[in-house]
Amino acid sequence: MKRNKKERQQILKDSIEQSPFVTDEELASKFGVSIQTIRLDRMELSIPELRKRIRSVATDQWNETVRALPIDEVIGEVIDLELDDRAISILEIKEEHVFSRNRIARGHHLFAQANSLAVAVIDDELALTSKSEIRFTRQVIEGERVVAKATVKGNDERGRTIVQVSSTVQGELVFSGEFVMYRSQDEQGEDEKK
């Protein structure tokens, strides 16, 4: 069903408000128009491009900073962070992330995104991965955008923090992992606590 420009722009605006990380390509496909038409619509509506929307959402939502590592050491772009609760990052799969022969992302990039997000969500000066159990559920190819979501699940019997990470491409699970995280405060023995 063809929509007039005014209807399309209103629906476009609503779509971006509901899902600020939607790409121009995804919107063009949804509306059956060219990417250039979407870009022109966004410009007329004063809606910034995806990267600026990501930064804006991250700036608006963050009320804390990463403590365990510098933010530029997190693999992917962190867009949401609530220490000791949850975190989200986005990784655009580019040429440097894939095997040249088949354009499939190397697994260590997906692992690094998830692992660094698990470290970043910990509210401690020192957070290290003690162990992890990971699962790749489908191949990721060049050009796809991986959204990793980390959730702190609590502590194990030894007091280490358990962080669950799930990574998706357009809502489809591509990677999942459980990371058992060591904190600097874990090294305090009973004698030190007295």
What's the CATH code of the domain at 112?
A: 3.10.129.10
Provide mean pLDDT across the span 177-189. Answer: 78
194 lies in a domain? no
What's the CATH code of the domain at 51?
A: 1.10.10.10
What whole-number distance in Å separates Cα of residue 65 and Cα of residue 71?
A: 8
Tell me the pLDDT tens digit for each residue of 116-168.
999 999 988 888 999 999 999 999 999 999 999 999 999 999 999 999 999 99
Q: How far is CA 141 from the centre of its chain?
A: 16
Same domain for 22 and 116, yes or no, is no
Asked if pLDDT for residue 99 goes beyond 90, the answer is: yes
Element (H, E) at 60: helix 50-61
Same domain for 86 and 46, yes or no, is no
Segments forming the whole domain that contains residue 111: 63-187
Domain total in the chain: 2
Q: In the prediction, which pLDDT does 70 show?
A: 66
DSSP letter string over 131-153?
EEEEEE-S--BTT-EEEEEEEEE
Q: Which tokens sit at 111?
A: 């692992």
Same domain for 155 and 77, yes or no, is yes
- The structure's pTM equals 0.67
Same domain for 84 and 114, yes or no, is yes
126 lies in a domain? yes
Same domain for 118 and 83, yes or no, is yes
90 lies in a domain? yes
Q: Which tokens sit at 119?
A: 């470290």
Tell me the pLDDT tens digit for each residue of 27-52.
888 888 998 998 888 888 888 777 66
Q: Which tokens sit at 56?
A: 């804006």
163 lies in a domain? yes
**Looking at per-residue confidence, does 114 or 1 come out higher?**
114
